[in-house]
Structure 1
Amino acid sequence: MADHKIDELPQEIKEQLPQHAQQIFLAAFNAAQKDGLSEEGAREVAWNSVRNEYEPGKDGKWQRKPEDPPIHNKAITTGGN
């Protein structure tokens, strides 16, 4: 599968993933193939890239993961000498 455009993605991927996730999948897949990975290896890289930002919902469609709340750690500094 030499995908270069979203409309060339397999139907099952288009049905499962929202447009932004499809863009992530495609970019990762194409980059992995350019790096010399096999189609199977490129698919694995692409799915891992999608999993970084999306997760499967109960309906089988992928949805964006909730953002982690920012953690503010206040640095403690002491005076010099």
Structure 2
Amino acid sequence: MTFRRNTELPDSVKRCLPLPAQDIYRSAFNHTWQGCRSPEARHAMQRELLAHKVAWAAVRRRYEPDGSGWRPKH
């Protein structure tokens, strides 16, 4: 399960993140999903959860919440 386009991202991601942050999220999610080989994360549900956590962490490195959405960090 990977996302080819930002339009395929979950609504919760599309609703609150600006497009550049969606790109970061999608890239981090896909990278984690494709590279996840650990035995404990092979189950699809665990693999997906891990990929979403990594994706949000990637967004938080470059963006911060501003009350109504997310803005780039300075």
For residue 42 of structure 1, the aligned residue among 45, 51, 55 is 51
- Alignment length (residue pairs): 65
Instruction: Give the corresponding residue for 2:44.
Output: none
The structure number with the bigger radius of gyration is: 1
The alignment status of 1:56 with 2:65, answered yes or no, reads yes
Tell me the percent identity: 38
Unmatched runs of 5 consecutive residues or more in structure 2: 42-46
3-state SS of 1:3 partner: coil
How far residue 2 of structure 1 moved from its aligned partner, in angstroms, is 3.0
Ranges in structure 1 where 5+ consecutive residues have no aligned partner: 67-81
> What is the match of residue 73 of structure 1?
none
Q: Distance in 1 between matches of 2:35 and 2:67?
A: 34
Q: CA RMSD in A?
A: 1.2
**Structure 1 range deviating more: 47-56 or 36-45:** 36-45
Measure how far apart 1:58 and its partner are. Answer: 1.8
State how far apart, in whole Å, the 2-side matches of 1:7 and 1:14 are.
Answer: 8
Higher RCO, Cα 8 Å, sep 6+:
2
How far apart are residue 40 of structure 1 and its match? 0.3
Greater helix proportion? 2
TM-score, with structure 2 as normaliser: 0.81
